[in-house]
């Protein structure tokens, strides 16, 4: 039944999608995350970081009050090791005040005097996410299911892969699938095409859902703080190829996974979330891999959700996560 609904196009090395969106009449799934029904009151999320000093919370809460807003939840953290202060405030306003007006007022009255790095987001706007995958699809499948059932507050306008394996999975969710095979001769050109798609689709976040190509330093710089990778081991242990074989050979009692931001230092980016499961001597490599795969799915989904909800702030080479 699925095959009859998939419309395929010839797509050798270029970026035309193997699948194009189905017509409205043909759509199989209506995703809850696509709802455009507005909330009763506009919601906003303010995040900030600055040198820790007295009066920050008082100033920020006063600014929110001046917006005639109601604070829904607020979290803060002062790091004694770096002397930095971090804060996330989720608030609602009775009217749809201009986001730009609030930004201008906050910048002038609060951010500049305290030397803040800050962002103010409309909570109703979902980040646009590019999913990238190679030949192992459990993380991709998990993210698509969570998105389709409304568990992830994101939009997914496209999937990019260096293999064709998951074009039918993409079609079943009505998402364009771009097949961009990579070899040593075309790697730079294909990466440029990925960046073109990134710009064309106004992507806010790239998720490497077991995409097994190393991004160039140039691409890492372009998506700095806006790209998440899932590493199929509990970093910093067992880096490189076949981590579950390495873990088995060492007789580990825990297997895990690490979601981190992408940097040019391979698998050394700021850690967002880690997951672990207990194992023992009875588990062979296949069992360790199965347990680890389930852990990867949950760890990556948490990282994507927290990023989409603006819960992650950078603290030098680390992260502060207001869960």
Positions annotated as catalytic residues are 267
User: How does DSSP assign 122-155, residue by residue?
Assistant: ETTPPPEEEEEE-S--HHHHHHHHHHHTT-S--E
- Spatial separation of the C-alpha atoms in residues 41 and 281, rounded to whole Å: 55
Which H helix or E strand runs over 61? helix 56-66
Instruction: Provide the phi-psi class of 256: left if phi over 0, else alpha when psi is between -120 and 50, else beta.
Output: beta
The tokens describing 95, both together, are: 């009217």
The tokens describing 181, both together, are: 């095979």
What is the signed CA dihedral for 33, 296, 122, 312, rounded to 10 degrees? 170
The neighbour count for residue 126, using CB atoms within 10 Å, is: 16
Distances (CA, A) of 290 to 191, 274, 284: 31, 17, 10
CB 231 within 8 A of CB 209: no
């Amino acid at each position: 039944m699925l095959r009859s609904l998939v419309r395929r196009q010839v797509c050798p090395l270029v970026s035309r999608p193997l699948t194009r969106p189905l017509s409205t009449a043909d759509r199989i799934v209506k995703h809850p995350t696509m709802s455009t029904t507005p909330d009763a009151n506009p919601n906003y999320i303010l995040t900030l970081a600055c040198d820790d000093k007295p009066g920050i919370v008082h100033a920020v809460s006063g600014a929110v009050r001046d917006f005639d807003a109601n604070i829904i939840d607020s979290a803060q953290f002062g790091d004694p090791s770096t002397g930095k202060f971090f804060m996330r405030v989720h608030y609602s306003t009775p009217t749809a005040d201009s986001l730009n007006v609030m930004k201008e007022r906050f910048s002038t009255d609060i951010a500049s005097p305290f030397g803040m790095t800050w962002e103010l987001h409309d909570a109703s706007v979902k980040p646009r996410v590019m999913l990238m995958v190679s030949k192992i699809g459990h993380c991709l499948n998990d993210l698509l299911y969570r998105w389709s059932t409304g568990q992830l507050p994101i939009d997914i306008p496209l999937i990019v892969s260096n293999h064709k394996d998951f074009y039918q999975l993409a079609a079943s969710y009505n998402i364009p699938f771009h097949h961009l095979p990579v070899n040593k001769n075309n790697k730079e050109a294909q990466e440029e095409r990925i960046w073109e798609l990134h710009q064309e689709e106004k992507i806010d976040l790239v998720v490497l859902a077991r995409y097994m190509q190393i991004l160039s330093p140039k691409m890492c710089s372009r998506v700095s703080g806006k790209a998440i990778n899932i590493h199929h081991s509990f970093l910093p242990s067992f880096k490189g190829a076949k981590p579950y074989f390495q873990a088995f050979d060492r007789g580990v009692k825990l297997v895990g996974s690490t979601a981190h931001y992408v940097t040019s230092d391979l698998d050394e980016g700021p850690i967002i979330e880690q997951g672990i499961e207990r194992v023992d001597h009875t588990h062979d490599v296949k069992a360790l891999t199965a347990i680890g795969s389930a852990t990867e799915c949950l760890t990556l989904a948490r990282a994507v959700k927290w990023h989409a909800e603006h819960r992650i702030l950078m603290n030098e080479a680390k992260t502060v996560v207001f869960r």
